[in-house]
Amino acid sequence: MYTAREIKLNLIVKFSWRSVLFFLIYSSILFLFHFYFEIHIGVSFVPIGLIGTAVAFSVGFKNNASYSRLWDARRFWGGMTNASRSFGAYITAFIKSTDLSPDETALIKEEILYRHIAYLNTVRVQLRRKSVWGDTSTVAHQVVGTDNHAQVSSDITRILLEFVPEIEAESYAGKRNVATQIMKKQTARITQLAEQGFISEIGHRRLMELVQEFYNHQGACEAIKSFPFPRQYAYYSKLFVWLFILILPFGLLTEFAKLPGGAVWLGIPLYVVIAWIFHTMEVVGDTSENPFENAINDVPMTAICRIIETDLRDMLNEEKIPLPIEAIDNILM
């Protein structure tokens, strides 16, 4: 997620310099052929204007749909955050027994909340795995520095060993959906505590409702991850934008030929600006359609997981609390 109020010029240049250079060279060649070599290749601007209008509607639809996917993903993780805080509060309040010493009670609470932290980070890592249709070579991925990913481990095994016993971590080996298995283990453990009388019936019921909520949010995020933005919209939107960009100079040639003297060459910078605007609108939608792709417009799951971890450890009255994840170069992952 980009966190600065305004997009910095250097970032705009990283996304745009190749396309702007192409637009400049392409339009210069066409204007040179038309006005210097007098090879008249201009056409009426009317049909090109109609195409531009249609393309603008198409790109607008794509951007709206892409933002909807991005916002839904962020909303699901917001729900995961709220449910996790409730889960932590319930665990610290509901687990109590005269048969347990304060230290034993504290260890049980720590076990469950640490397992929950492992669950959240495992969901994060699973969502950021490369998809079949994912393209990690884009500028949107390249601008995310290695320091962003280095702040929190992306290795599920290391995450598990940090928060759950080694024997439990080994039990998840070979599972296709480790996060689901962690929550299954969590459910069994909570139910066991309820059967032993350490959690009341009402408390158990409320905790199970939260477990269901976690599964709902996880499943919703997995649905966004596994179902790509419909390719017919994504592909044809990009195709239409480039078609418009390539034919636009031919219409501008006709219009600028009506201007006196050297004013005709103003068509080149004007074309570059128009082409850049349409291309940028396409790129914005393209880089927002998949919010779990390790790119600049990702939902900041790493930072969210750390916030939840901090809250849960605070509930356990721990003194050593990990620091929040900071944005690097205004990019928060």
Say which residue the tokens 């052929």 belong to: 33
Q: What does residue 331 show for φ and ψ, rounded to 5 degrees?
A: -120, 120
Claim: this prediction has a pTM higher than 0.85: yes
Q: What are the φ/ψ torsions at residue 227 (nearest 5 degrees)?
A: -110, 105
Distances (CA, A) of 70 to 182, 225, 299: 26, 11, 7
What residues does 328 pair with on adjacent strands?
331
Q: Per residue of the chain (333 residues), give pLDDT as tens.
A: 877 788 888 888 888 889 999 999 999 998 888 777 777 777 888 899 999 999 999 999 888 988 899 999 999 999 999 999 999 999 999 988 767 788 889 999 999 999 999 999 999 999 988 776 666 667 776 777 654 554 445 688 888 999 999 999 999 988 899 999 999 999 999 999 999 989 999 999 999 999 999 999 999 999 998 887 777 888 888 999 999 999 999 988 888 878 776 677 888 899 999 999 999 999 888 888 888 888 888 889 999 999 999 999 999 999 889 888 888 878 888
Distance CA 52, CA 42 (A): 17
Output the pLDDT for position 284.
87
Q: Is 331 helix (H, G, I), strand (E, B) or coil?
A: strand
Cα–Cα dist 282/240, whole Å: 10
What is the distance between the alpha carbons of residues 105 and 92, in angstroms, rounded to a whole number?
9
CA distances for 21 relative to 14, 17, 137, 272, 275, angstroms: 12, 6, 20, 9, 11
What letters, b where the CB count within 10 A reaches 16 and e where it falls short, cover 168-177? bbeebeeeee
Residue among 213, 234, 210, 212 at smallest CA distance from 69: 234
Q: How many other C-beta atoms can be found within 10 angstroms of the C-beta atom of residue 137?
A: 8
Alpha helices in 143-256 (DSSP H): 146-150, 156-163, 166-171, 178-195, 201-226, 231-256
- Residues with Cβ within 8 Å of 30's Cβ and at least 6 positions away in sequence, in order, are 41, 249, 250, 253
Domain ranges in the chain are 9-315
The predicted structure's pLDDT at residue 326:
87
Question: Which DSSP string do the residues of 19-36 spell out, in sequence order?
Answer: HHHHHHHHHHHHHIIIII
Q: Tell me how far apart the alpha carbons of residues 33 and 325 are, in angstroms, rounded to a whole number.
A: 55
Q: What pLDDT does residue 129 have?
A: 84
**Contact residues for 213 (Cβ-Cβ < 8 A; gap 6+):** 79, 83
d(CA 221, CA 126): 10
The pair of three-digit structure tokens given for residue 146, joined into one six-digit string: 């290695």
Q: What are the CA-CA distances from residue 22 to residues 138, 184, 244, 271, 283 (Å)? A: 17, 54, 15, 11, 16
pLDDT at 215: 96
SS3 116: helix
* pLDDT value of position 154: 62
| Backbone CA torsion sign across 15, 21, 26, 31 | positive
In total, the chain counts a number of residues equal to: 333
pLDDT at position 134:
63
Confirm if 219 and 125 have CB atoms less than 8 A apart.
no
Q: Which of 3, 76, 1 is nearest to 294 (CA)?
A: 1
User: So what's the pLDDT on residue 152?
Assistant: 47
